[in-house]
Amino acid sequence: MTDAIGIRPLEAYIDRDLLLVLPCANDVRNLKPDLDKVSKLEGLTLAVTALSDTEDFDCVSRVFVPKLNVPEDPVTGSSHCLIAPYWGSRLGRKELTCLQASRRSGILYITCNENRVSIAGKAVLYSEGEILKDI
């Protein structure tokens, strides 16, 4: 993991995705992972996170998905289903404001309840489609 991202994580967790906790928010912002090496790590996606260094956010994150030909996902709700419960338990809070610090970036407003994570934020319609079923 250290070789793939260029910094030693403080903690690592695996589920469907790999979650790495880094020492500080600037480590997350300045990360330049070797995506070929990241693609060889366990997990579908690699989410990196650290405690925020500003009062505006609880945590900072970035998400890389080279296994699906997505070098960096700009804003990733599914990865925050790992990130938010991690920080919620560390901070003793159910409601969090998270910054995904990709080039495009995005703010996620998250509530953790029991076994459910609710995510809200601003979105832009990217595409519309219709699925037709032959009768």
Chain-centroid distance of CA 124 in Å reads 19
For residues 50 and 59, give the distance between their C-alpha atoms in angstroms, rounded to a whole number: 6
Q: Could you give all domains of the chain from N- to C-terminal order, each with its CATH number?
A: 2-120 (3.10.310.10)
State if pTM tops 0.75: yes
The per-residue pLDDT string of the chain (135 residues; one tens digit each, 9 = 90 and over) reads 999 999 999 999 999 999 999 999 999 999 999 999 999 999 999 999 999 999 999 999 999 999 999 999 999 999 999 999 999 999 999 999 999 999 999 999 999 998 899 999 988 888 899 888 876
Phi, psi of 111 (to 5 degrees): -120, 130
